[in-house]
A and B are shown apart, each in its own frame.
Chain A
Amino acid sequence: MSTDTLDLDAGWRLHPQVAIRPERFGALLYHFGTRTLSFVKTPTLLDVVQRLATAGSARVACVEAGVTPVEMPSYEKALAALASSKMIIERAA
């Protein structure tokens, strides 16, 4: 899988070792296992990330957070970046 794509129809969740700190611009994510920091650059993306665990799929989480079809590719790219740094992981089916 390239870094710009991710299976939007799969279920995703935050990695159990990741903590979220909401900020005005979005949030900071910190992974205690890899000791890396990521920036969630919009409040909408934070909303998406927080919905991942309970939404049926990443696409559903995006729609519930108000992401429009036009915006979907950029959110997919952002989620793919979070997946490549292990901040989010695919849920067991």
Chain B
Amino acid sequence: MTVLPLVDEFALGLASPICLTWELTYACNLSCVHCLSSSGRRDPRELTTEECKRVIDTLERMQVFYVNIGGGEPTVRPDFWELIDYATAHHVGVKFSTNGVKITAEVAKRLAASDYVDVQISLDGATAEVNDAVRGTGSFATAIRAMENLHAAGMRNFKLSVVCTRHNIGQLDELKAIADRYGAQLRLTRLRPSGRGVDTWGGLHLLPRQQRELYDWLVAHGENVLTGDSFFHLAAYGQALPGLNLCGAGRVVCLIDPVGDVYACPFAIHENFLAGNVREPGGFQDVWQTSELFADLRRPQTGGACRSCSSYDACRGGCMAAKFFTGLPLDGPDPECVKGHGEPALAAVGAGSAPRPSLDHSHRTAPATAPAGAVHLTILDRRPPVSACEENPLAGLDI
């Protein structure tokens, strides 16, 4: 048997994912302008409690050690806690992402008592002004209250998850201080042009000098700050950041969406990256192991236009989803290529020719999107405040 470097083994795919993202519902109380899954309204076809349990049975059999549960806002599913308990009882650890809306003092105590559940609070700015401009009015206060509750309950090392934008990149030290204050670990991730982000990425993504600033900050903080491996394109600046440093889509990670569709990655909700559905006879295992799409992704990649670049071994061409939704070829440079190959490539993409996400569950009452490139503070001034109106999936709930 040939022994390959680990990163090459991973690039060829594993018998089971290392971890996977499972979005339990498209329902959400917020309308974040960059939502990767265009969430807002529940989809009537979402998996039932029993169907979710069958997925968990499969994950246990496949020894998927943990799932990253998200949405939408997963905690608004009435069976959320039942599913968490079922997963942990079946040796599938859970880390769930939440905006904090349901993390009351009582819930926090329950979470702190479990070794098998981890929580990730989303916050996209160190101040209400910066955060709420992206995530909606009141969302900063909600997240802070959730962290206060978790901290008071004795929950340690939960995650504070931040999507890096043009507006919060100057707040990294303050965000780290917030995480430290609540005994949380900071996690920084990359903004992708996915979901509603297709319309807002142009105005929110990092400027080239900000990418460098982020890279230097990450190098200085080492393994104390998590990144979900999302900045491997920055490795082309020099040393690799901690993590696997490869695109894991369909190779070591994937997404199960609320209706059971399996996509190569959480940022690629588009029919081109749809591998199958967990409702098919073979279930998730069959999709993971036999889908043609995943088999394609696991073949050695050529590198295409990037092959002659001296940094290709470091960045490996960057993020597939970022390229796809900005209209760039998948075997060319990342739109945020640190060598500067992204800008001319983006300039050559015809207006309106980039692909759109296949699904949109945005609230009809709170349009969160705006034309690409718009100044986001202007966008948000036009947005009505998020409220528990009749069409809101949370209407009538005590939130």
Specify which chain B residues have a CB less than 8 angstroms from the CB of A41 in the assembled complex: 6
Contacting residues, chain B, for A35 (C-beta < 8 A): 66, 93, 95, 118
- Encoded as 1 (CB less than 8 Å from any B CB) or 0, chain A from 26 to 46 comes to 001010110101010111000
Within 8 A of B (CB), among A1-53: 17, 19, 21, 23-25, 28, 30, 32-33, 35, 37, 39, 41-43
The interface residues of chain B lying within 8 Å CB-to-CB of A32 are 65, 91, 93, 115-116
Q: Which residues of A contact B116 (CB under 8 A)?
A: 32
Q: Tell me the smallest distance from the CB of A33 to a CB of chain B, in Å.
A: 5
Q: Which residues of A contact B351 (CB under 8 A)?
A: none
A19 to B90, CA, bound (A): 13
In the assembled complex, the CB of B4 is this many whole angstroms from the nearest CB of chain A, namely 7
Residues of B within 8 A of A39 (CB): 6
Q: Does B14 contact A (CB under 8 A)?
A: yes
Instruction: Please tell me if the beta carbons of B63 and A25 are within 8 angstroms of each other in the complex.
Output: no
Bound-state CA distance A19–B9 (Å) is 20
B8: nearest chain-A partner, CB-CB: A25
Please name the residue on chain A nearest to B19 by beta carbon. Answer: A37
Partner of A37, one of B1, B3, B18: B18
Q: Are A33 and B115 in contact, with the CB atoms below 8 A?
A: yes
B372 at the interface (CB under 8 A from A): no
**Alpha-carbon gap, A19 to B16, bound state (A):** 14
Q: How far is the CA of A20 from the CA of B293 in the complex (A)?
A: 28
Query: CA A30 – CA B93 in complex, angstroms?
Result: 10
Minimum C-beta distance from A70 to chain B (A): 17
**Separation in Å of the B62 CB from the closest CB of chain A?**
9
> Which residues of the partner chain B approach A33 to less than 8 Å between Cβ atoms?
115
Q: Is B207 an interface residue (CB 8 A)?
A: no
Q: Is B118 a contact partner of A25 (Cβ separation < 8 A)? A: no
Q: Is the CB of B18 within 8 A of A28?
A: yes
B177 within 8 A of A: no
Counting contact residues on chain A (CB < 8 A from B), the size range is 10 to 19
From B1, B6, B65, contact of A19 by CB (8 A)? B65
A25 touches B9 (CB 8 A): yes
Q: How many residues on B have C-beta within 8 angstroms of the other chain's C-beta atoms?
A: 19
- Report yes or no: A23 in contact with B14, Cβ–Cβ below 8 A: yes
Q: Is B377 an interface residue, CB under 8 A from the partner?
A: no
- Inter-subunit contact B3/A42 (CB<8 Å): yes
**With the chains together, A35 CA to B66 CA distance in Å?**
9
> A55: shortest Cβ distance to chain B, in Å?
24
Known: A30-B93, A35-B66, A35-B95. A21 touches B115 (CB 8 A): no
Alpha-carbon distance between A21 and B19 when the two chains are bound, in angstroms: 12
B63:A19 contact, CB within 8 angstroms: yes
In the complex the two chains form, is A21's CB within 8 Å of B16's CB? yes
How many angstroms from the CA of A26 to the CA of B1 in the assembled complex? 12
Q: Is the CB of A21 within 8 A of B63?
A: yes
At the interface, yes or no: B15 with Cβ under 8 Å from chain A? yes
Whole-angstrom CA separation of A19 from B4 in the bound complex: 24
- Selected from B4, B65, B115, B118, the residue in CB contact (under 8 A) with A30 is B65
Contacts of B14 in A (CB 8 A): 23
Note all chain A residues with C-beta closer than 8 A to B4: 25
Closest residue to A25 on the B side, CB-wise?
A: B9
Contact B6 A17 (CB under 8 A): no
CA distance A23 to B15 in the complex (A): 7
Of all chain B residues, the one with the shortest Cβ separation from A18 is: B65
Query: Which of B6, B65, B118: most chain A Cβ within 10 A?
Result: B65
For B3, the chain A residues whose CB sits under 8 A away are 25, 42
Closest chain B CB from A1 CB (angstroms): 20
Q: Chain A residue with minimal CB distance to B14?
A: A23
Asked if B9 and A37 make an inter-chain contact with CB atoms under 8 angstroms apart, the answer reads: no
Q: Give the distance to chain A from B184, nearest Cβ to Cβ, in Å.
A: 13
A residues within 8 A CB of B95?
A: 35
Q: Is the CB of B115 within 8 A of A17?
A: yes
Write 6 A-B pairs (CB below 8 A) sorted by A numbering: A21-B63, A24-B9, A30-B66, A32-B65, A32-B116, A37-B18
Q: Which 5 A-B pairs have the closest CB atoms?
A: A30-B65, A21-B63, A25-B9, A33-B115, A35-B118
Given known contacts A23-B15, A37-B18, A39-B6, what 18 new A-B pairs fall within 8 Å (CB)?
Answer: A19-B63, A21-B16, A21-B63, A21-B65, A23-B9, A23-B14, A24-B9, A24-B15, A25-B6, A28-B65, A30-B65, A30-B93, A32-B93, A32-B115, A35-B118, A37-B19, A37-B65, A42-B3
